[in-house]
Amino acid sequence: MEVKGILKRYIVTPDKHFPYADNKAIKIVCKAIEILKPDGYIDLGDTGEWASVSKWKWKNKAKPNLEYFLPEVIQEVEDVNAGMDIIDESLDKANVKEKHFCQGNHELWLDYFVESYPYLPEYSCANALGIKERGYHFHRAGDLLTIGGMSYYHGHSYGGMHHAAAHCKQYKTNIIYGHHHDIQVYSDKSADGKIMAYSIGCLKDMAREKNEFIGGRPLNWGHAFAIVDYVGRKDFFVNVVEIKHGRAIIQGEVIQS
């Protein structure tokens, strides 16, 4: 969608954890893509759960022979690709050509799996998800993607409950990240002026997580994604769009899954 004064627009999505994504939240993202027709799309990683190759899966257990759990890996590769296909379909409808994939720590587990079984290179993150074939630029875990005055990456476990402040102080630049699944914004100062860090939530099914993994404890997670508009070469404006009960507000209008 062409908006006066905006030179470039990106939609940025955090942790989806397919096949455990929140379906309503994903539908909202897809609708936003088709409505806004951004110039670019940035996936912040942990796009898949990758439980089949999780570093926790065989902790304190004897790992069985590969043939025992390889079918589970194959199934998860299919499931995560199916999730990406849903978003890619909307990106194609919106004619979005510039696409970035920032590898998350869960995707790193795929690469570690291939390190253990080097005769299975097709299961590395970039290969298993067909990153090149999908037309994405691939950014390895920990590497910053910098566009104008903003940087993007998956995120690290800095700072505990104050992770936005920690990211701001660690990188000393404007940064958008995921990983923590909650929504935080923090500003700090630098020699070049104010800098800000944005944690933009997640798109994972929170009910499943709460009921199955953390014993019913309260969560501060939030479903969200970001719209980043650039005016000029460096100036940017960030809109963190919250999704609540399958609804969000885009350009003053309520959209519903």
Q: What percent of the chain has pLDDT over 90?
A: 83
Q: Which of 181, 171, 192 is nearest to 234 (CA)?
A: 192
> CA 252, CA 246: separation in Å to the nearest integer?
16
pLDDT recorded at residue 200: 98
Kindly give, in sequence order, each residue whose CB lies less than 8 Å from that of residue 256, ignoring residues fewer than 6 positions away.
Answer: 28, 246, 247
Q: What percent of the chain has pLDDT over 70?
A: 94
pLDDT recorded at residue 179: 97
Residue 1 has pLDDT above 50, yes or no: no
What confidence tier does 3 reach under pLDDT thresholds 50, 70, 90?
low
Q: What is the pLDDT of residues 146-195, one digit of tens each?
A: 999 999 999 999 889 999 999 999 999 999 999 999 999 999 998 888 99
Residue 81 CA from chain centroid, whole number: 14
> CA 110, CA 54: separation in Å to the nearest integer?
8
Q: What is the pLDDT of residues 42-94, one digit of tens each?
A: 999 999 999 999 988 888 888 889 999 999 999 999 999 999 999 999 999 99
pLDDT recorded at residue 211: 57
Residue 210 has pLDDT above 90, yes or no: no
pLDDT recorded at residue 63: 84
The region that residue 12 occupies, defined by phi over 0 for left and psi between -120 and 50 for alpha, beta otherwise, is: beta
Q: What is the pLDDT of residues 19-49, one digit of tens each?
A: 999 999 999 999 999 999 999 999 999 999 9
pLDDT recorded at residue 234: 78
* Across 109-113, 149-153, 197-201, 216-220, least confident range: 216-220
Residue 9 CA from chain centroid, whole number: 17
Q: What is the dihedral of CA 158, 164, 166, 170, to 10 degrees?
A: 100
- pTM for the complete prediction? 0.94
